[in-house]
Structure formats: structure tokens, C-alpha cells
Amino acid sequence: MGSTIRKSLDHPEETRPVKDGMGQVELVNLDGGAVARATFLPGWKWSQHVKPIAQTDSCMVAHKGYTISGRLKVVMDDGEETEYGPGDYGVIPPGHDAWVVGDEPYVFIDWQGMDDYAKPKE
């Protein structure tokens, strides 16, 4: 029989800042991979604040998660556009740019693809 696991994003095992102090990603590690709370401030844009870390033309991480607060605009490389807000569940495939819409920080719980997100290349 398995045992329960309790971890808290309020006490992350790792915190990764994004460029210019425009947010951070807080992670806890599970057997299936990292779960993260991403907080991005108004004015944050993936292509400006994470692209220099990722060193890819667009975000090549797949995301699966839930929006706690704020709004995020996502534009796929093929031109498809979606906006996420509080209460929205989202699946975002690799190959996109994204930015915070409005004056409220965007907070997203992501349980897919966060193992290397915003992690500097070695």
C-alpha cells in the first residue's frame, strides 16, 4: 500500500526567477515530475523574460494547469490565440509565446513540463 505525500508550494524545494524580476517559478518535485506555481508580473512576456534563459525561438515546454489569478494571452507559432483567466484549466502545447494581460499578476499551477522551465542552460 502506498503512503500519502504532502508538499507545499508555499515552501518550494526550488525557486527560479525570470529576467528583470518579472516573476518566478516555485517548484516541488514528485515522482512524476515537478509541479510549479508560476507567478508573472504585469509586463511579463515569455519572449522577453524567459527566452534568454531557454535559448529557443518560442516556448518549447508543454503546459497543463490551472489559472489562479490574472490573465495570460498565448499565441501559438501557427497563429492560434487563447486567453486564460481565473478558474480556467489549460493545455498549451510547445511552440508559443505568452504575456500577462492587464495590471494583475498571473498565477498558474502547472503540473506538466516544469522540470526545466526557466532553468538556465549549463
For 14-110, CATH number? Answer: 2.60.120.10
Q: Strand order of the sheet with strand 81-84?
A: 81-84, 71-76, 96-101
The full set of domain ranges for the chain reads 14-110
The string of pLDDT tens digits covering residues 62-90 is 999 999 999 999 999 999 999 999 999 99
Instruction: Output the CA torsion sign for 113, 19, 100, 27.
Output: positive
Contacts with 1 (C-beta within 8 Å, 6 or more apart), sequence order? none
Q: pTM value? A: 0.93
Q: What's the chain's length in residues?
A: 122
Q: For residues 82 and 74, is the Cβ–Cβ distance under 8 A?
A: yes
